[in-house]
């Protein structure tokens, strides 16, 4: 087997020594080309080359969810072809590693490498569904290129929080749960749309859902982790189905406190719920329109402001080693 290992040297939970050990462990079992990323988008470019080659069987992403997202977008740059494309494997090296953990992998890079090698020996893999987001035809965002996401996307409040976190990290702050919680509070206090939602969800054959302030799109469950605690925004979301959506149409101080508590105490059986919460399951095609430009995020990466985004849930998009 020939494999490409894409290494993010900025991965927050692995040292250079640990990465060297992991590379040697993988190289002992396969013909391995290890490449360290040098710029934003480099992982995508490397995976695109692997997808277009005839001799790469496996692409391993060593990094966080952002690295995985880039690799997935590189592999799928011509569209899904599970039988023809290299398989994907993940060694978690980020601060949260939602995708890897949702697949059931250990959150420790060394343990995950051992699990990966076992899975390869035992030929364990699964074909998962993914989400695809694109600018909506006929709108000012129609020229925005499409992009795949592995576990979540969001338009509005949660994307604003991620944008604030990225700004703080650019200033040298470490990515911690405390940092996220502070930015949630600041986003709540500063959000000009929290009293009157600007988002409308449209889907074929159904009435639109209007006046949403927050929209979280999940491709799997849990939505994220706080330390070792899983957080379920859409408990029914799965790699085997379409996309799930959690929308909130009210964010007063009492309601945000209630929904935050529901998130923190969520379980695989129950997520946020109530009069102003909308939960939709297993959607294949839908569009989010906003009356005002709102921040968009995918897999925890802030992508700027959008007014209209069309989402597609694509079943059986990519083979993954588990």
The pLDDT, as a whole number, for residue 183 is: 85
Comparing CA positions, the residue from 319, 318, 321, 320 lying closest to residue 79 is: 318
The pLDDT, as a whole number, for residue 104 is: 96
Please, which pLDDT band fits residue 27 given cuts at 50, 70 and 90? very high
The answer, yes or no, to whether the previous bond of 289 is cis (omega within 30 of 0) is: no
Query: Pairing state of beta strands 125-135 and 152-156?
Result: unpaired
Question: What is this structure's pTM?
Answer: 0.93
The pLDDT, as a whole number, for residue 217 is: 98
What's the mean pLDDT in 31-51? 97
Cα–Cα distance, 194 to 134 (Å, whole number) = 25
Please, which pLDDT band fits residue 285 given cuts at 50, 70 and 90? very high
What's the mean pLDDT in 266-284? 96
How many degrees, rounded to 5, is the angle at CA 82 between CA 81 and CA 85?
Answer: 75
Comparing CA positions, the residue from 284, 289, 278, 150 lying closest to residue 220 is: 150
Structure confidence by residue, pLDDT tens digits, 207-244: 999 999 999 999 999 999 988 899 999 999 999 999 99
What's the mean pLDDT in 80-102? 96
Please, which pLDDT band fits residue 189 given cuts at 50, 70 and 90? confident
The pLDDT, as a whole number, for residue 254 is: 87
Res 112 pLDDT > 90: yes
Cα–Cα distance, 322 to 317 (Å, whole number) = 15
Please, which pLDDT band fits residue 176 given cuts at 50, 70 and 90? confident
Distance of CA 244 to the CA centre of its chain: 13
The pLDDT, as a whole number, for residue 251 is: 82
Q: What's the Cα-to-Cα distance from 291 to each of 42, 134, 135, rounded to whole Å?
A: 35, 18, 15
The pLDDT, as a whole number, for residue 62 is: 97
The pLDDT, as a whole number, for residue 145 is: 94
The pLDDT, as a whole number, for residue 179 is: 81
Percent of the chain scoring above 90 in pLDDT: 81
């Amino acid at each position: 087997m020939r494999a490409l290992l894409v290494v993010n040297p900025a991965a927050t939970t692995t040292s250079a020594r640990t990465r060297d050990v992991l590379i040697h462990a993988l190289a002992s079992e396969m013909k391995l080309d290890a490449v360290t990323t040098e710029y934003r988008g480099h992982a995508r470019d490397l995976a695109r080359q692997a997808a277009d080659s005839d001799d790469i069987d496996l692409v391993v992403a060593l990094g966080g969810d952002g690295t995985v997202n880039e690799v997935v977008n590189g592999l799928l740059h011509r569209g899904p072809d599970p039988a023809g494309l290299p398989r994907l494997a993940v060694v978690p090296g980020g601060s949260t590693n939602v995708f890897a953990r949702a697949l059931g992998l250990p959150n420790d890079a060394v343990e995950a490498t051992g699990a990966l090698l076992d899975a390869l020996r035992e030929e364990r893999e699964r074909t998962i569904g993914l989400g695809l987001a694109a600018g909506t035809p006929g709108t000012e965002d129609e020229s925005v290129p499409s992009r795949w996401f592995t576990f979540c996307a969001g338009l509005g409040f949660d994307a604003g929080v991620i944008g604030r976190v990225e700004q703080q990290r650019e200033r040298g702050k470490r990515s911690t749960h405390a940092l996220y919680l502070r930015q949630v509070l600041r986003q709540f206090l500063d959000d000009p749309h929290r009293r009157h939602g600007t988002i409308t969800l449209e889907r074929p054959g159904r009435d639109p859902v209007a006046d949403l302030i927050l929209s979280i799109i999940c491709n799997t469950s849990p939505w994220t982790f706080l330390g070792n605690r899983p957080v379920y925004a859409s408990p029914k979301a799965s790699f085997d189905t379409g996309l799930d959506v959690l929308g909130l149409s009210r964010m007063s101080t009492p309601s945000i406190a209630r929904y935050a508590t529901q998130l923190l105490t969520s379980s695989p059986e129950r997520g946020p719920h109530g009069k102003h919460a909308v939960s939709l399951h297993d959607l294949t095609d839908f569009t989010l329109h906003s009356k005002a430009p709102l921040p968009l995020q995918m897999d925890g990466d802030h992508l700027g402001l959008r007014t209209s985004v069309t989402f597609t849930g694509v079943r059986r998009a990519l083979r993954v080693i588990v």
